[in-house]
């Protein structure tokens, strides 16, 4: 079922206005829940159509599609769009898309889709991207020149194409470039790469022909130092798109807007809005063009950061919820012993902040050198143009920009040129300035203060010069650079270096935070209900480092740190014969953590066991290269990588070692079961619109992409759901999770008013034990559904179990009772013993029975 916007709920006028501002516009649908489908050549629109009936029976209301537009040839994820005017041919094109929509509608479902406004692919061959091909051929005279953020003022006045395997002189000498005049237009070929030839230059000798183009062919290593187009993070094959230009916005969004206008899509998920020049203006334009469609943004909020209240959207894609829900099931008592164990086994520091600073510093100096260089160019130009600002050197600007980027603690501030900087943005930047001040020599402090004022759009130097284009560009470009520094420095480097408990190293997570209390969780939910009632929530995405069950299966070691330390000692000794002197302590620890996290528990289909060698080796290769300590993607150390792989193969082939790991996983399985079911139920019933990532209605222990894009067995899921719907009791954790997921999703669908309606509310319920978290979802102040979940079961056992601990259930009208839709047990309103509520499962979902 889908709801549409109506009048706000009860509460004061200010609260009602805020809730209206972040709900879709009048008449626009609001999903009750979504189910993420990774559309790709191996899972087409017709494949999505085939599972429509299953999704409807599961209880979701919307299929949530990965990017639907035409991506680069062979793309398995869709974020490398090459053509905004057509639907993905590899997924079946428009005919298959319409068949999918018809199948969804027949089951009462609708669809929302992922949108990539920030970048397009630089594909191989480049001809797959018509807009880019035009710019390569015609340079600044191309009708598409406004699409890409290119600095044409470089010495070559050409777009850098860093695709060569060696330097250009060597390539020319080897005759590796070929002119092809056999087709409709002359082409320049370099192995699989194809480039257009500037009209009139095809008759030139090859060396002069190369120089005459609007692009500069260069060795791939040149990119990080001289790239002159803005890119997505440090990915040269993803060129940023200037959607701040209204014509570019309209052209790149026309098809998507048509799909929304025609009711073929009900909403959008916006990928990486922090990369845009002005995210707020983008969202305002999108809201205007769609009549306020349901839109959520992939926004990573750091610490106490809040989504800007003036963004006209429904909320985030749910990483903030993931952090709080997952944290509920992490025992904070394990922090000190696990930290001590980590430093003992690895020799690494106990302080994560220092690891982050070092990683960001490396990324700024190496991967993002070209972005820093462009900021310095802007600063040098601004100060040279104003005599009152001269005598600040390029070296000083380089040092200041570097320290500010390293010190900046979030993905961006929200300063709009021509507007007064918001107080929060001023506060965040001032904090970074003060941190940077402590890292800079005193003679750089005046330069630092100048840069701060320029980044905040304040008047600096001669009066009346705040509106200059270069100053506005500096404000925007600095903010666009903060995100890549955070993403590459923290998530893609520091997270792979420091892991006292790697399950905490999640996108949007905070490894230095160990656990979330029920009080903090309730406060977070209250904030969602008040300000972002239809935001998305999630536990797993295509970007998470570990799937939801892998995280909690490892997180439970926080409840038994002594047993974990003892187990590691035994495993390390038993695996000594497989260990090369090249293998470092951190990587070995990561392997053991990964083995536990991904171990399949016993079930009706078998005894369970370890991850496959293929998957483990692929993950470890990615992990050690992202860590950049011993090997990298661009400078691999084959000997080190083989030492890691050999150890992993040795462990997986050693039955004695695996038996010990299996014993530990079985011993912690009850706690893992509690967390698996608890976090799923909490996420599905808390405020917001929950997303179920494909396949996670059963146990899911995938690792980072591409592991999390593996095929999902929907036939098995459908068969198991039929079994449960036929009245059978769940036989293992997979079936228990499917029961929890389906019953919670159906409850949301049946009780829309209490979950996503305009009068939906949230009420924490008092319990006498900290090992229980409970809340009611309300409609107009009346409780309609109650969630109860067990947390920290090891601590609970140490204190004797539930005993006489109670939960106070809300009143039910007309003498009715509460019924647990997971077990069928009935419970009266008022004080209820937790031992009775949770006698069959560690969770309960109670609905009214009158």
Helix/strand/coil (H, E, C) string of 146-193? HHECECCCCCCCCEEEEEECCCHHHHHHCCCCEEECCCCCCEEEECCE
Q: Are 78 and 32 in contact (CB under 8 A)?
A: no
Q: Are 623 and 645 in contact (CB under 8 A)?
A: no
Distance separating alpha carbons of residues 238 and 225, to the nearest angstrom: 17
User: Top-level CATH class of 126-239?
Assistant: alpha beta
Q: How many CB atoms are closer than 10 A to CB 395?
A: 11
Report DSSP state, residue 662. Answer: H
Distance separating alpha carbons of residues 568 and 612, to the nearest angstrom: 21
Report DSSP state, residue 229. Answer: B
Please report the pLDDT score of residue 815 as a whole number.
77
Distance separating alpha carbons of residues 843 and 671, to the nearest angstrom: 13
Coil/strand/helix, residue 835 = helix
Q: Are 16 and 9 in contact (CB under 8 A)?
A: yes
Coil/strand/helix, residue 519 = helix
Q: Are 802 and 833 in contact (CB under 8 A)?
A: yes
> Do 126-239 and 2-118+243-317 have the same topology in CATH?
no
Nearest alpha-carbon partner for 427 in 304, 333, 533: 304
Question: At residue 496, what are phi and psi to the nearest 5 degrees?
Answer: -95, 5
CA distances 418 to 246, 467, 558, 746, Å, are 18, 7, 50, 49
Q: Are 467 and 474 in contact (CB under 8 A)?
A: no
Q: Are 812 and 831 in contact (CB under 8 A)?
A: no
CATH superfamily of 2-118+243-317: Glycosidases (3.20.20.80)
CA distances 670 to 59, 288, 500, 676, Å, are 27, 51, 22, 10
Burial class (CB in 10 A: 0-12, 13-18, 19+), 448: buried
Q: How many CB atoms are closer than 10 A to CB 418?
A: 9
Distance separating alpha carbons of residues 327 and 34, to the nearest angstrom: 23
- Could you tell me which residues come within 8 angstroms of residue 189 by beta carbon, excluding any fewer than 6 positions away? 177, 178, 179, 180, 195
CA distances 128 to 72, 162, 179, 315, 475, Å, are 7, 17, 19, 34, 33
| Helix 319-328, helix 518-531: angle, nearest 10 | 150
CA distances 366 to 122, 369, 370, Å, are 22, 5, 9
- Could you tell me which residues come within 8 angstroms of residue 815 by beta carbon, excluding any fewer than 6 positions away? none
Which residue in the block uniquely carries the two structure tokens 């769940």?
730
Q: Are 417 and 476 in contact (CB under 8 A)?
A: yes
CA distances 206 to 134, 176, 211, Å, are 21, 11, 9
Burial class (CB in 10 A: 0-12, 13-18, 19+), 758: buried
Question: At residue 495, what are phi and psi to the nearest 5 degrees?
Answer: -65, -20
Distance separating alpha carbons of residues 292 and 283, to the nearest angstrom: 10
Pairing status of strand 235-240 against strand 178-180: unpaired
Q: Which two tokens stand for residue 596?
A: 């536990």
Q: Which two tokens stand for residue 620?
A: 């470890």
Distance separating alpha carbons of residues 336 and 333, to the nearest angstrom: 7
Dihedral, CA atoms, 738, 36, 34, 764, nearest 10 degrees? 60
Asked whether the CA dihedral 354, 357, 360, 362 is positive or negative, the reply is negative
Please give the average pLDDT of every successive group of 10 residues along the chain, which has 850 residues.
Answer: 49 49 90 97 97 98 98 94 97 98 98 98 96 97 97 92 97 97 95 96 96 97 93 94 97 98 97 97 97 97 93 97 98 97 96 97 96 97 96 97 97 95 96 98 98 96 91 97 97 96 95 95 96 97 97 98 98 98 97 98 94 98 97 96 98 98 98 98 98 97 95 98 98 98 98 96 96 97 97 96 96 90 96 97 94
Please report the pLDDT score of residue 95 as a whole number.
98
Helix residue ranges per DSSP H, 90-139: 93-106, 130-138
Distance separating alpha carbons of residues 521 and 805, to the nearest angstrom: 21
Concatenate the DSSP letters of all residues of 109-120 into one string: -EEEEEE--SEE
For residue range 380-419, list pLDDT tens digits in order.
999 999 999 999 999 999 999 999 999 999 999 999 999 9
Nearest alpha-carbon partner for 305 in 319, 294, 292: 319
Nearest alpha-carbon partner for 60 in 733, 690, 605: 690
Q: Are 342 and 350 in contact (CB under 8 A)?
A: yes
Nearest alpha-carbon partner for 409 in 483, 462, 350, 505: 483
SS3 of the chain: helix, strand, coil, percent, to 5: 45, 15, 35
Bridge partners, 216 (sequence order): 160
Give the residue extent of every domain in the chain: 2-118+243-317, 126-239, 355-491
Q: Which two tokens stand for residue 712?
A: 């999902």
Distance separating alpha carbons of residues 553 and 233, to the nearest angstrom: 32
Which residue in the block uniquely carries the two structure tokens 């040279």?
384
- Could you tell me which residues come within 8 angstroms of residue 393 by beta carbon, excluding any fewer than 6 positions away? none
Report DSSP state, residue 488. Answer: I
Distance separating alpha carbons of residues 144 and 559, to the nearest angstrom: 57
Q: Are 534 and 30 in contact (CB under 8 A)?
A: yes
Distance separating alpha carbons of residues 295 and 308, to the nearest angstrom: 14
Element (H, E) at 736: helix 733-750
Bridge partners, 115 (sequence order): 270
Q: Are 195 and 138 in contact (CB under 8 A)?
A: no
- Could you tell me which residues come within 8 angstroms of residue 459 by beta carbon, excluding any fewer than 6 positions away? 453, 465, 466
Bridge partners, 71 (sequence order): 81
Q: Are 689 and 343 in contact (CB under 8 A)?
A: no
């Amino acid at each position: 079922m889908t709801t549409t916007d109506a009048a706000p709920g009860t509460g004061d006028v200010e609260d009602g206005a805020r809730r209206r501002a972040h709900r879709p516009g009048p008449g626009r649908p609001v999903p009750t829940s979504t189910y993420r489908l990774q559309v790709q050549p191996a899972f087409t629109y017709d494949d999505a159509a085939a599972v429509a009936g299953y999704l409807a029976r599961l209880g979701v209301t919307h299929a949530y599609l990965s990017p639907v537009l035409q991506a680069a040839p062979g793309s398995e994820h869709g974020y490398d769009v090459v053509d905004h005017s057509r639907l993905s041919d590899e997924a079946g094109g428009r005919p298959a898309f319409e068949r999918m929509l018809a199948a969804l509608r027949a089951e009462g479902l609708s669809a929302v889709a992922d949108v990539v406004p920030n970048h397009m692919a630089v594909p191989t061959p480049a001809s797959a991207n018509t807009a880019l091909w035009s710019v390569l051929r015609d340079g600044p005279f191309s009708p598409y020149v406004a699409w890409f953020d290119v600095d044409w003022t470089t010495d070559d006045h050409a777009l850098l194409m860093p695709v060569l395997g060696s330097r250009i002189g060597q390539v020319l000498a080897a005759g590796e470039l070929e002119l092809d005049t056999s087709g409709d237009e002359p082409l320049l070929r370099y192995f699989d790469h194809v480039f257009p030839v500037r009209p009139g230059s095809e008759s030139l000798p090859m060396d002069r022909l190369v120089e005459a183009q609007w692009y500069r062919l260069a060795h791939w290593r040149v990119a990080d130092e001289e790239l002159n187009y803005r890119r997505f993070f440090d990915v040269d094959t993803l060129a940023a798109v200037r959607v701040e230009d209204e014509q570019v916005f309209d052209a790149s969004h026309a098809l998507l807007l048509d799909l929304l206008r025609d009711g073929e899509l009900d909403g959008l998920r916006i990928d990486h809005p922090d990369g845009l020049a002005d995210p707020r203006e983008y969202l305002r334009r999108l809201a205007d063009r769609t009549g306020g469609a349901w839109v959520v943004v992939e926004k990573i909020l750091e610490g106490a950061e809040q989504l800007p209240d003036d963004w006209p959207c429904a909320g985030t894609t749910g990483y903030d919820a993931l952090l709080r829900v997952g944290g509920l099931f992490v025992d904070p008592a394990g922090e000190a012993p696990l930290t001590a164990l980590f430093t003992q086994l690895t020799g690494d520091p106990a302080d994560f902040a220092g690891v982050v600073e070092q990683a960001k510093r490396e990324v700024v100096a190496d991967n993002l050198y070209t972005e820093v260089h462009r900021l310095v160019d802007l600063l040098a130009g601004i100060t040279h143009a104003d005599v009152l600002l001269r005598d600040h050197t390029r070296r000083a600007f380089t040092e200041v920009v570097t320290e500010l980027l390293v010190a900046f603690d979030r993905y961006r501030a929200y300063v709009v040129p021509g507007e007064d900087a918001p107080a929060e943005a001023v506060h965040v930047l001032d904090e970074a300035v003060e941190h940077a001040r402590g890292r800079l020599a005193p003679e750089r402090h005046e330069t630092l203060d100048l840069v701060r004022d320029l980044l905040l759009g304040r008047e600096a130097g001669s009066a009346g010069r705040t509106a200059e284009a270069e100053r506005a560009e500096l404000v925007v470009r600095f903010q666009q650079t903060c995100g890549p520094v955070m993403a590459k420095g923290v998530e893609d480097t520091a997270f792979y270096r420091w892991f006292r408990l790697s399950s905490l190293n999640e996108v949007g997570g905070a490894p230095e935070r160990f656990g979330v209390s029920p009080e903090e969780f309730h406060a977070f939910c209250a904030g969602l209900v008040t300000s972002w009632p239809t935001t998305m929530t999630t536990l797993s995405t295509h970007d998470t480092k570990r799937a939801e069950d892998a995280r909690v299966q490892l997180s439970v070691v926080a409840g038994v740190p002594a047993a974990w330390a003892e187990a590691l000692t035994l495993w390390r000794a038993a695996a000594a014969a497989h260990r090369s002197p090249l293998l470092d302590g951190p990587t070995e620890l990561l392997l053991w953590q990964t083995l536990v996290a991904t171990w399949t528990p016993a079930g009706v289909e078998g005894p369970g066991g370890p991850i496959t060698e293929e998957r483990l080796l692929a993950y470890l290769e990615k992990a050690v290269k992202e860590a950049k300590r011993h090997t990298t993607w661009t400078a691999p150390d084959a000997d080190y990588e083989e030492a890691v792989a050999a150890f992993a193969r040795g462990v997986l082939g050693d039955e004695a070692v695996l038996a010990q790991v299996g014993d530990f996983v079985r011993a912690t399985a009850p706690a893992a079961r509690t967390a698996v079911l608890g976090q799923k139920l909490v996420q599905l019933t808390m405020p917001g619109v929950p997303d179920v990532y494909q396949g996670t209605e059963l146990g899911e222990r995938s690792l980072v992409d591409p592991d999390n894009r593996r095929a999902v067995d929907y036939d098995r899921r459908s068969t198991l759901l039929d079994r449960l719907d036929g009245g059978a009791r769940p036989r293992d954790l997979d079936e228990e999770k499917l029961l929890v997921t389906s019953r919670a999703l159906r409850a949301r669908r049946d009780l829309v008013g209490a979950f996503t309606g305009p009068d939906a509310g949230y009420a924490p319920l008092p319990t006498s034990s900290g090992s229980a978290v409970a809340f009611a979802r309300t409609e107009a102040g009346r409780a309609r559904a109650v969630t109860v979940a067990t947390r920290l079961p090891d601590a609970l056992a140490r204190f004797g179990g539930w005993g006489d601990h109670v939960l106070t259930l809300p009143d039910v009208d007309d003498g009715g009772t509460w019924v647990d839709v997971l077990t069928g047990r009935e419970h009266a309103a008022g004080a209820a013993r937790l031992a009775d509520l949770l006698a069959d499962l560690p969770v309960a979902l109670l609905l009214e029975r009158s």
